[in-house]
A = this chain, B = another copy of it.
Amino acid sequence: MTLTGELFIGGERHGSARKFQAYDPSCGRPLEPAFSVAGAAEIEAACARAHEAFDAYRGLAPERRAVFLEAIAAHIMAQGEPLLERAHRETALPMARLESERARTAHQLRMFAAELRMGEWLDLRVDPALPHRQPAPRPDLRLRRIAVGPVAVFGASNFPLAFSVAGGDSAAALAAGCPIVVKGHPAHPGTSEWVAQAIVAAAAETGMPAGVFSLLNGPDTQLGATLVADRRIHAVAFTGSRAGGLALMQVAAQRPVPIPVFAEMSSVNPVILLPGALGARAERLAHEFVSSLTLAVGQMCTNPGILLALQCPPVQAFIEAARTALAGVTPGVMLTAGIQRNYVQSLERTRAHGAQWLAHGGEGGAANSGRAALFGVPAAALIDQPQLAEETFGPAALLVHCATLGEVRQIIEQLEGQLTLAVHMEESDQPLAQALLPALERKAGRLIVNGWPTGVEVSHAMVHGGPFPATSDARSTSVGSLAIERFLRPVCYQGFPEALLPVELRTAELPGWPHRLDGERRLARRG
């Protein structure tokens, strides 16, 4: 496939007069071709097509949408190396990482296909009529969940495949029955065009309404704001910066008809190092920490940005080992020049707040690279200056020396909401961990014992969400099968004749799906 730089509106390529460029972050040179910028007319057209397609798309049998999702995965895989090479040129992410990200992207699409077939997402409930009940009869009541409406999906800079055009948010929204209008991330428009082509081909092949997918591109934030303000958009999925997420939340709340925004924004993913664990394996912990911190040049939502170390002699061994390990890490090229600039400024801010340098990454990085950094502060400094706990997007962390468990707890209580909170412990640390647990549960969506926050499993029990500002809605996750719930709403059908009921709620079909009958759980009986 040759890139044309065009947008996709309802499955058709569409060029516009205004153009923008992608850049190779490793050298700063523009990449060909130039890409069309979506303006008001393109936003209008994409939303109109999504709205037109909505009833037809959500009305398809779940099996049809499952086949569509699987076809998207197959088309992405079939694009082979050229897709990964383009993504590499646009993001500087290593090919091995992009290969595993592509595998994850395909896995996400297939997981939602499997979820569609299992039918748990429908939340089917039937309360049969009780015509003779006193003092009043009960009508027949049946419930299913349906798609909320067209969804605006924002591509993320740091996952050009797994959280962009056909990423987790798109897969969840399409599975739910929502047409999507994707605002591609301007740093990787070529990767976006490749993947868009896979979606459009899959939609045509499996007979989907064309309006189910559009891709809009552009370098300005106005595009996203106009899209979120469009009356035909019913929900928003966003992964990105706190400022970006907050801006979209404002737009959504001020619409004549407010809509939900699911923004995954900001997390420093604190890791608590308890004395037993430090005593047993300070060096191993330090090596694991450095791997987690410098993964993808620290450009991960789950980067371990804060270490809370309970004071004990092995803390120094941990720092020494981390220093040695960090010194061996060659600085990697960051996703964009802007991200690199922000990273450097963020390090300066941390120092200005009085944090001490504990360790550096190695020298000798290429242009636009991010050198890893570990800072140290006493607990009192973080308690006095909560700004020190703000997210740095890049491979930097802050080690906080805590004299007592009380200080650890005070810092946790003071923290903003997080995606993850991790504890490294031995059996001897159990009473300490137990004492911290209620506070940890209140502050994060995922709690980890003896692991690191990076490496988000795509499965049923995963939560990639958490209290604000980790996400805009703590009741949501953007990874795992539970992510589909963001785009569904319940509808009750009262007194419906069999022929008018949605297929899966008909008396003949119901036993084939998991459901609750008068509240009691019934398993699906499949033929």
A interface list, Cβ under 8 A from B? 54-55, 59, 100, 114-115, 118, 120, 123, 125-127, 135-136, 138-139, 141-143, 146, 148-149, 249-250, 253, 257-258, 260, 416-417, 427, 430, 433-434, 437-439, 441-442, 444-451, 455, 457, 459-463, 465, 467-469, 472-475, 477, 481-482, 488-497, 499-500, 514, 516, 518-521, 523-524
Interchain nearest-CB distance for A485 vs B (Å): 8
On chain B, the residues within 8 Å of A439 by CB distance are 55
CA distance A75 to B304 in the complex (A): 51
Q: Are A141 and B496 in contact (CB under 8 A)?
A: no
**Of B260, B461, B500, B524, the contact of A142 (CB 8 Å cutoff):** B461
**Of B135, B138, B467, B493, the contact of A447 (CB 8 Å cutoff):** B493
Q: Are A449 and B516 in contact (CB under 8 A)?
A: no
CA distance A121 to B492 in the complex (A): 19
Q: Is the interface of A mostly helix, strand, loop or mixed?
A: mixed
Q: Are A495 and B449 in contact (CB under 8 A)?
A: yes
Given A138-B459, A449-B500, A475-B490, A59–B253 Cβ distance below 8 Å? no
CA distance A126 to B451 in the complex (A): 17
CA distance A492 to B490 in the complex (A): 25
Q: Which chain B residue has the least Cβ–Cβ distance from A146? A: B441
Given A445-B491, A473-B260, A475-B490, A143–B482 Cβ distance below 8 Å? yes
Interchain nearest-CB distance for A45 vs B (Å): 20
On chain B, the residues within 8 Å of A497 by CB distance are 427, 430, 449
On chain B, the residues within 8 Å of A142 by CB distance are 461
**Of B135, B143, B447, B491, the contact of A492 (CB 8 Å cutoff):** B447
CA distance A444 to B138 in the complex (A): 20
On chain B, the residues within 8 Å of A489 by CB distance are 445, 465, 467, 474-475
Q: Are A519 and B141 in contact (CB under 8 A)?
A: no
Given A441-B146, A475-B489, A516-B120, A494–B449 Cβ distance below 8 Å? yes
Q: Are A491 and B446 in contact (CB under 8 A)?
A: yes
CA distance A523 to B520 in the complex (A): 10
On chain B, the residues within 8 Å of A524 by CB distance are 521
**Of B59, B136, B451, B474, the contact of A148 (CB 8 Å cutoff):** B474
CA distance A465 to B488 in the complex (A): 13
Can you list 23 residue pairs at the A/B interface with Cβ under 8 Å? A55-B439, A114-B519, A126-B461, A127-B457, A136-B455, A139-B457, A141-B462, A146-B441, A257-B416, A260-B475, A427-B497, A430-B499, A444-B491, A445-B492, A448-B494, A449-B494, A459-B518, A460-B516, A462-B492, A463-B492, A474-B489, A475-B489, A521-B523
